[in-house]
Structure 1
Amino acid sequence: MSIEKTLFAAADKMRGSMDAGEYKHIALGLLFLRHVSMSFERLHDQLSKEEYSDPEDPDEYLAESIFWVPEKARWSTLAKQSKDPKIGIMIDDAMRAIEADNESLKGALPKVFGKESIDRTMLTGLIDLFTNLKMEGSKADFDLIGRIYEYCIGEFASSEGKRGGEFYTPKSVVDTLIEMIEPTKGRVYDPCCGTGGFFVQSEKFIDAHSGQRNDIAIYGQERNHTTFGLARMNLAIRGIFGDIRWNSEGTLVKDAFADERFDYVLANPPFNISDWSGELLREDARWKYGAPPVGNANFAWIQHIHHHLSASGIGGVVMANGSMSSMSGGEGDIRRALVEGDAVDAMVALPGQLFYGTQIPACLWIMAKDKSNGIAKEAKLRDRRGEVLFIDARKMGALVPGSRKQKELSEDEITRIATAYHAWRGEPDVGEYEDVPGFCKSADKDEIAKHNFVLTPGRYVGAGAAEEDDEPFEEKFSRLMGELRGQFAEGRRLEKEIEDRLGALG
């Protein structure tokens, strides 16, 4: 059994006495503790062998960007006491001790292990499970950590319903935006960063393209304090450091980076939020293209993201499909102003069933601060002023193995979407852009105006070419009739089996 399934099987046993979300923090908290302890002990052993090094000097670890772990918080210490009735309290104390000695972790780690509702036997089992988990305390662990993290966050987002879906963006959606935006150098911002998925994938993108992690600086804000802690833990476990901030009012009401501008903005805001204090923000400077309706925050998020782009910045935001066509509350006028102001670079319609906890279909808005010829020439890109690229990916995606509802985009599908966008922008080494019926279309403002500034890609890309069918009609008719007769026969067999079983019960 894989480590992910083992973890969830353990959670399954606890469903009667513990909320799924609470177990998530226990599993991920212990994963964090195990990894930082392994990283610490690895360097500790190395320093112990060096004549002039002190393995108990915190500065030695700071110099290597490794968290200092006090004696009582080390995994080896806790593992020896895993069967102690007070193990939960010991783990909470370990978390507090690590926070006390590492400024960047203050307030980030879960302290829920000592609750009376937490089964000590379950904690002992998880400690044993993680003790036997092969980890090196180095970057080699990150693939395994990432798998467990994504599995836990995704699985529990599904268990927690829509509330979970608000802060978890499926990996294939994150990957699509990352491949389109390509955050390689500069400042990256997520105004509703959730558990930090966009930041993690940005780092992976840079690594995959032989770039330098230090070439990007990370900034984020999150309203949910529990999720804020998960984000900091998620980033810390990978050695990713950024300026992540929390406040209870949320980004739209209290913008932590009001005067900052960013080269890349990536976001998955909660869809269709009505209680966003819109009435109090009617005159906000961010609403360059029109005041968003009080009853829906979608266009507040879109304009917030555009407002925070640098002079040549690119932003990508996940939105509910209604944002592409809604006319209520002046949204149609805002959309028109965005298009006429050259704020919209591309629109991508996504397939359904991608998100945990909600079946609301979604789309991607790609925003540009400036598509002028000057910037285009500087970046050796095509001048796309007056045009918007539409991509219809609704027919893409396949069910996740073992799931009846959840879909994901394949790597090839993500590459196809991203390549179309990069070719349209005129980027080198991706080939010339061409409209593809049923998939992508570059439309100018006049054509968009004919559609009353509705930005649904299906209106522009048209129908794809029909698939060729070489099977002769007579053969197809005979084959289909044979299949139909077989299905009828199977139906009669099942009907008789049901009657027999019901008769036996009588």
Structure 2
Amino acid sequence: MNLEEIKKLEDQLWEAADNLRANTDLKPNEYATPVLGLIFLKFTDNKYSAYEEAIQAEFEALQGTRRSKSIEEIAIKHCGFYLPPQARYKYLLELPESADLATKISEAMQLIEDFKNDEKFVDVLPKNEYKAFSRLPESKAALKGLLRSFSDIPADASGDVFGRIYEYFLGKFALSEGQKGGEFFTPTSVVKLMVEIIEPYHGTVYDPACGSGGMFVQSLHFVEHRNQQLKELGELEESDAAIDLSVYGQEKTRDTVKLAKMNLFVNGLRGEIRQANSYSEDPFNSFESFDFIMANPPFNVDDVAVTTVEEDKRFNTYGLPRKKTKAKKSDGKAETVTNANYLWISLFATSLKNKAEAKARNTGRAALVMPNSASDARNAEEDIRKQIIEDNLIYGMLTLPSNMFYTVTLPATLWFFDKNKADDKILFIDARNIFRQIDRAHRDFTDEQIQNIAMISKLHKGRRQDYVSLVDSYFKSGMQILGETVSDVKPLITQLKSVIDKDSAIKATVDDLAKNWQALAPLQDKYEAYVSTHSL
């Protein structure tokens, strides 16, 4: 399926799912996880079907020999999991109306986990969440309707298609849940911009507040797109196009961890998601460990105890954001940091690989979402900021428009770190007036706006050829559209000329229009001359 077909399918599936919810008593937060689980279920069925013939053939060939294996073993070798008959999508779809569909789907999810043979995948899929569909007859009918709706996803749809559908639904659910939704989902256009600037081509990617895993998915799409470009230019062989990314995420909310793990599995990403509180737990020993880091952490948290972080080198290397006046023992309260924003900033600065490794691997870059207030915070925060700047870790700051997030309306700032900087300068980008209005309360970036903003960073690094390539892509796209328009307009102009009186005032307008289309060839010549002059 091409992108246009996927987009059309996404819209159709969401419209069907949204209409079905309207006929139930389910709240958006009760609906999201079960729906995403059904998308996952259809994905596993499609994937298993692609390997099923080979699995069955090997099973039959080994029957009665000393090398005989169970079909479950063979399936796990080929596909990564075994899908028993009761977990097949068709089986669930064809259950009689009298069947307890919610229970049957829960049982199917349990069977998938049982046969995944991976301890990291235990208790990941939604099961009890389907009980809500048993409350009313309308809800039961909605669950059946959802199954039918997702059966419209083509049987040959691959992980890439499912990954896009899953991410699309995550975004829609986050938008419908407002602030709560923003806790597990960062708007895709913001993540795309972060990825385009830090360019995580290879290595380890860490998100210490990973939500549903969107940072990881966009990193994957970035590498896939880059590899496709290189293949088209003849600079990358198919055999060398393997994705070299490993992702590591922490998330404190158990249900959100489930969403992230399903997201990784659907998108075919290698990595690990742990349920952990980043202030007090460090399951990946993150100090100087990662090639790239991205996160959109909670803003302005003020209840983190100093005792939790004061001995942790992830947070104390550049100092702690402590109150000047410490809590008195008589207060009966533990001293807390003034604001956890600078705990996150310190975590980023210390979790990237050291400068020597970053230089050797061309990595050591990070992107962090912070409230604008963090950029000029005073007192202890100012001291931390000064040390990080003097250590030459800040690559740039980008101010975002307001209303880009579901949790806050005030504008935020993207902080970019780079342990492999070529100079001691800091790039500042004011993007407050660059956006597309989605509705009254929400904005995002178009793909062209993302590319244009990211190009400022590339030009800052002296990558002039990237700018020429971007202009070239815009020109080719524009010329293609104009060329298609010319094909449509030329017959109309001929018809107009045949019916318009020679002395008519309209004739001059039609003649001018025809001359404009004839100027396309000279425009092409001028552009080719420009590319020739400016290419390196």
Same fold (TM over 0.5): yes
Identify the match of residue 106 of structure 1 among 122, 126, 142. 122
Give the aligned partner of residue 173 of structure 2.
156
Separation in structure 1 between the aligned mates of residue 142 and residue 428 of structure 2, nearest angstrom: 50
SS at match of 1:276: coil
Deviating more after overlay: 350-359 vs 86-95: 350-359
1:78 aligns with 2:92: yes
Displacement after TM superposition at 1:417 (Å): 1.8
Contact 1:172-1:409 at 8 Å conserved across structures: yes
Contact 1:70-1:97 at 8 Å conserved across structures: yes
Identify the match of residue 183 of structure 2 among 161, 166, 169. 166
Identify the match of residue 423 of structure 2 among 369, 375, 384. 384
Contact 1:193-1:220 at 8 Å conserved across structures: yes
Contact 2:246-2:269 at 8 Å conserved across structures: no
SS at match of 1:64: helix
Aligned residues: CA RMSD: 2.3
Q: Larger helix proportion, structure 1 or 2? A: 2
1:32 aligns with 2:48: no
Identity %: 33
**Closer/same/farther in 2, CA of residues 346 and 425 from structure 1, 3 Å limit:** same
Displacement after TM superposition at 1:233 (Å): 0.5
Give the aligned partner of residue 288 of structure 1.
317
Give the aligned partner of residue 294 of structure 2.
266
SS at match of 2:221: helix
Alignment of 1:82-161 (within 5 A): 83-102=97-116, 103=118, 104-111=120-127, 112-115=129-132, 116-117=134-135, 119-139=139-159, 142-143=160-161, 145-161=162-178
* Equivalences, count: 410
Please give the per-residue CA displacement for 1:308-331, whole angstroms capped at 9, x wherever unaligned: 10122111111111111222x522
Give the aligned partner of residue 316 of structure 1.
367
Deviating more after overlay: 20-29 vs 351-360: 351-360
| Structure 2 unmatched ranges of 5 or more | 1-10, 64-68, 228-239, 323-336, 359-363, 469-536
Give the aligned partner of residue 8 of structure 1.
18
Separation in structure 2 between the aligned mates of residue 317 and residue 227 of structure 1, nearest angstrom: 20
Separation in structure 2 between the aligned mates of residue 344 and residue 132 of structure 1, nearest angstrom: 48
Deviating more after overlay: 332-341 vs 225-234: 332-341
Please give the per-residue CA displacement for 1:65-110, whole angstroms capped at 9, x wherever unaligned: 4432122111111111162341111111111111111114212101
**Closer/same/farther in 2, CA of residues 277 and 6 from structure 1, 3 Å limit:** farther
Displacement after TM superposition at 1:171 (Å): 0.5
Contact 1:40-1:137 at 8 Å conserved across structures: no
Separation in structure 2 between the aligned mates of residue 427 and residue 52 of structure 1, nearest angstrom: 57
Q: What amino acid maps onto 1:309 in structure 2?
A: L
Separation in structure 2 between the aligned mates of residue 226 and residue 285 of structure 1, nearest angstrom: 29
Contact 1:354-1:408 at 8 Å conserved across structures: yes
Separation in structure 2 between the aligned mates of residue 150 and residue 82 of structure 1, nearest angstrom: 32
Q: What amino acid maps onto 2:135 in structure 1?
A: S
Displacement after TM superposition at 1:53 (Å): 7.1
Q: Please, what TM-score do these two structures have when normalized by structure 2?
A: 0.72
SS at match of 1:52: helix
Please give the per-residue CA displacement for 1:231-263, whole angstroms capped at 9, x wherever unaligned: 00011112222122113xx01211112255111
Separation in structure 2 between the aligned mates of residue 213 and residue 192 of structure 1, nearest angstrom: 27
Identify the match of residue 278 of structure 2 among 251, 254, 277. 251
Please give the per-residue CA displacement for 1:416-471, whole angstroms capped at 9, x wherever unaligned: 22121122233473369xxxxxxxxxxxxxxxxxxxxxxxxxxxxxxxxxxxxxxx
**Closer/same/farther in 2, CA of residues 82 and 88 from structure 1, 3 Å limit:** farther
Alignment of 1:428-439 (within 5 A): 429-430=465-466
**Closer/same/farther in 2, CA of residues 391 and 33 from structure 1, 3 Å limit:** same
SS at match of 1:262: coil
Please give the per-residue CA displacement for 1:352-372, whole angstroms capped at 9, x wherever unaligned: 11112421311110012353x
Give the aligned partner of residue 44 of structure 1.
52
Q: Please, what TM-score do these two structures have when normalized by structure 1?
A: 0.76
Separation in structure 1 between the aligned mates of residue 164 and residue 14 of structure 2, nearest angstrom: 7
**Closer/same/farther in 2, CA of residues 237 and 56 from structure 1, 3 Å limit:** farther
**Closer/same/farther in 2, CA of residues 53 and 232 from structure 1, 3 Å limit:** farther
Q: What amino acid maps onto 1:238 in structure 2?
A: N
SS at match of 1:390: strand
Separation in structure 2 between the aligned mates of residue 46 and residue 285 of structure 1, nearest angstrom: 51
Contact 2:436-2:444 at 8 Å conserved across structures: yes
Separation in structure 1 between the aligned mates of residue 296 and residue 23 of structure 2, nearest angstrom: 33
Separation in structure 2 between the aligned mates of residue 278 and residue 82 of structure 1, nearest angstrom: 59
1:241 aligns with 2:270: yes
Deviating more after overlay: 354-363 vs 273-282: 273-282
Identify the match of residue 192 of structure 2 among 175, 198, 204. 175
Displacement after TM superposition at 1:301 (Å): 0.6
**Closer/same/farther in 2, CA of residues 170 and 135 from structure 1, 3 Å limit:** farther
